[in-house]
Amino acid sequence: MNEMIKNLLKDTFKDNVVFDVSAKDFTTFKTGGILSAVVFPSDKTHIELLFELWQKGIPVKFVGCGSNLLISDEGFDGIIAVTKKFSGIDYTKDNISVCCGTKISSLIKFCIDKNIAGFEFLAGIPGTIGGALVNNAGTKEKSISQVVLNVEYIDKKGFWQKEKKNNFVWEYRYSSLKNEAFFIFSTSLITEKGAAGEIKKKVSQIMKKRIQTQPLQYPSAGSVFKNPPGFFAGKLIQDAGLKGLKIGGAMVSEKHANFIVNIKNASSTDVWNLIRHIQQTIRNRYNISLDLEIETVGRFE
């Protein structure tokens, strides 16, 4: 990244920019190379500046908790914009407005405190609301798209928009926001009146199941692959005998085969090579393609 851009970022973001830092500090996989610049935007003017730079050909990637990312060992010669300063929840009797950088866990806590039901299914999903919208996060029973009213975002032409849910395409682990939005600012969600005790009970049951079935003690990015139509990715991987398979410091979890865990200073290349091996094995054995649920940033071969 050239000095002129660095100086512009310093002038704009002051103490809220760092240069040449490790991706390990910004992803839950704890892998990856050097990030040229990481900024922490806090208002719409910051987003508009980042849009201008993006238009000029400088790569810009928005990151919440880094829980769904695999960043290349070669790093990222662009701007990583961490959304945590866009955090907050406004509540009316009909809906709640949630900023993109709000952690899902914070939303769950808010709902318990305010006796709001209907969001328990999100319990235990790592990450932020912005990422949840882009990837239509959820479980096999329910996805966030089912509770969305509208979304405020800046589109890829630089215009701020506020659109109703039905103006977007929502599919399994996908929304058209991925293609249409440069940056998601906030969303309004439908609320249901509930009782704190019942909400807590449901959340506790979901969290207990996650702890029992997922390898939460190791760095990971959650489920690596989408479930192919009619199948579960984890079962396919397990039935192919790949549980426990290691490449370098990365391993197919023995607890949940759709998780790749960093057990010993894994590199992103270790993880990537394991991903490719799994995909090839499942293709050869079942003639099924496993598509990634996680997102890759940077160059992979």
- List of long-range contacts for 205-208, beta carbons under 8 Å, 24+ apart: 206/120, 206/121, 206/123, 206/124, 207/123, 207/124
Marked catalytic residue, from 42, 173, 176, 295: 173
Question: Is 143 a known active-site residue?
Answer: no
The partner residues of 35 in beta bridges, in order of sequence, read: 21, 76
Nearest 5°: the CA angle 163, 154, 44 is 120
Give the C-alpha distances (Å, rounded to integers) separating 119 from 17, 50, 205, 237.
Answer: 34, 32, 14, 30
CB atoms within 10 A of CB 93: 6
Question: Is 293 a known active-site residue?
Answer: yes
* Strands of the sheet with 250-252, listed across from one edge: 220-223, 259-262, 250-252, 246-247
* DSSP helix/strand/coil, 108: helix
The residue to which tokens 């249409």 are assigned: 180
Spatial neighbors of 255 by CB under 8 A, at least 6 apart, are 213, 214, 215
Marked catalytic residue, from 36, 72, 143, 223: 223
Nearest 5°: the CA angle 151, 155, 160 is 65
Spatial neighbors of 4 by CB under 8 A, at least 6 apart, are none
Question: Is 223 a known active-site residue?
Answer: yes
Tokens of residue 299, six digits? 């160059």
Q: Which residues are catalytic?
A: 173, 223, 293
